[in-house]
Amino acid sequence: MARKRGIMSEQLKEEIAKELGFYDVVEREGWGGIKARDAGNMVKRAIEMAERGVSEGKGSS
């Protein structure tokens, strides 16, 4: 079975993990080592960033 390709770039995931303070776990154990709560917070942060980008984009026209 083929793996589904992720939506977030590796760079964005790393940036958010550093911001949220669990990048050390990613370095030691990989993405599978993070807690479900951390993964959820990472997704929440990415959504906030995307929403902010969309709202800023609409105001510039």
The domain limits of the chain are 10-59
Provide the pLDDT for residue 35. Answer: 97
d(CA 38, CA 46): 12
CB under 8 Å to 18, separation ≥6 — which residues? none
CA quadruple 23, 26, 31, 35: dihedral, nearest 10: -70
The pLDDT, as a whole number, for residue 55 is: 84
Q: How many CB atoms lie within 10 A of CB 25?
A: 15
Predicted local confidence at residue 7, as pLDDT: 81
pLDDT, residue 58, reads 63
Q: The tokens of 39 are what?
A: 């993964």
pLDDT tens over the chain, length 61 residues = 566 667 889 999 999 999 999 999 999 999 999 999 999 999 999 999 999 988 887 655 4
- The dihedral sign for the CA sequence 9, 14, 19, 23: positive
